[in-house]
Amino acid sequence: MTLRPVRPADRDRVLEITRDVWEGRDYLPEVFDAWVADPGSAFQAAEVEGEVVGVQRLRPIAPGIALYEGLRVAATHRRRGIARSMLRQAVEQARSLGLRQVRLYTGNEVAGRLFASEGFRPVTVCAVWSAGRMEGDDLPRLAGPGEAAALASRLRQEPSMAGSFEAYRGVNPDWNAVLDVDATLLERLAGEGRVRLGPGGRALALLRAEPRSRLAATFVAGSGAGLQELMAGLRFEADGRGLRGVAALVPERHPGIEDLRQVGYDLADDEGRAYVYALDL
């Protein structure tokens, strides 16, 4: 097996490889062109006897940190050790670039076992809690970039927020970039209109960009009445935006789980889990 950069001409073969992923709902066909055109990442194809049988991507997301994503192997070539070999080569490439950590996000528990066997440590595991949209005018407040430093401090110091922060192990489990929840991230997301606050700023939700059918919260902090008001407000916002409802990624030990239930959220067992791993180099 050899690795080389993915080319535009590989598009049809890559689409064929992803056809059976997530029952035909793989996101990779949507991002293929952007990934090929990105000079700042390593989007690689694995070849066996001249045939593309897999793809993967290694992308810097923060100083010293890269995201490993897009690992796919053709159904005809699975269980031959190809995925493991690809992963190992990506890790060696990260080391050669002087990076200090590789992170990844997966919704596949089986893939998670592969990563763990290669030395990746689990950071956090999140379940999906969902609620339908609901009519209402009490929308959550959008945070401004100037509030980022105070919010970052509150997440670590206030008891009602710190328990949530610890449950996520301090990272935002967004598949597009698993980044530390710090002032830098909060400032950027606030500038993009992706930070929602509860009363007094003592509950917080980070939203995924460009929601499809539901408003997606990747990080939820707080507990008690403040969190309840925030999460109800997200249901109101989903209704106002014509979305089906809200889906939130929540770790098992999150202190606000009962508050989610109080405002109509249920554990969506059929949605699977989100697994975040990291490898220190």
Task: Provide the CA 175 distance to its chain's centre, in angstroms.
Answer: 2
Contacts of 89 (CB under 8 A, 6+ apart): 3
Parent domain of 86: 2-99
Residues 70 and 203 in one domain: no
b/e per residue 112-132 (b: at least 16 CB within 10 A): bebbeeeebeebbbbbbbbbe
Of the pLDDT bands very low, low, confident and very high (cuts 50, 70, 90), residue 83 is very high
Q: Are residues 175 and 89 in the same domain?
A: no
Q: Which residues pair with 2 in a beta bridge?
A: 47
153 and 93 fall within a common domain = no
Residue 95, in any domain of the structure: yes
Specify the pLDDT at position 166: 96
Same domain for 184 and 262, yes or no, is yes
Do residues 35 and 90 share a domain? yes
CATH code, domain carrying 131: 3.40.630.30
- pTM, whole model, 2 decimals? 0.94
Pair 142, 269 in one domain: yes
Flag whether 16 is in a domain.
yes
pLDDT tens for each residue of 55-65: 999 999 999 99
Q: How many CA atoms lie within 13 A of 47 on its CB side?
A: 11
Do residue 24 and residue 68 come from a single domain?
A: yes
| Listed residues 99, 115, 149: the one ending a domain | 99
Q: What is the mean pLDDT of residues 269-276?
A: 88
Query: Looking at the domain assignment, is residue 105 inside a domain?
Result: no
From 99, 118, 149, the end of a domain falls on 99
Tell me the pLDDT tens digit for each residue of 121-152: 999 999 999 999 999 999 999 999 999 999 99
| In a shared domain, residues 76 and 145 | no
Residues 150 and 77 in one domain: no
Total number of domains constituting the chain: 2
Chosen domain end from 64, 99, 134: 99
The pLDDT of residue 25 is above 90: no
DSSP element (H, E) containing 13: helix 11-18
DSSP bridge partners of 55: 45, 72
Instruction: Give residue 173's identity as a one-letter amino acid code.
Output: P
CA 213, 176, 170 angle in degrees (round to 5)? 105
Asked whether residue 61 is assigned to any structural domain, the reply reads yes
What is the per-residue pLDDT for 168?
97
Question: In this predicted structure, what is the pLDDT of residue 109?
Answer: 85
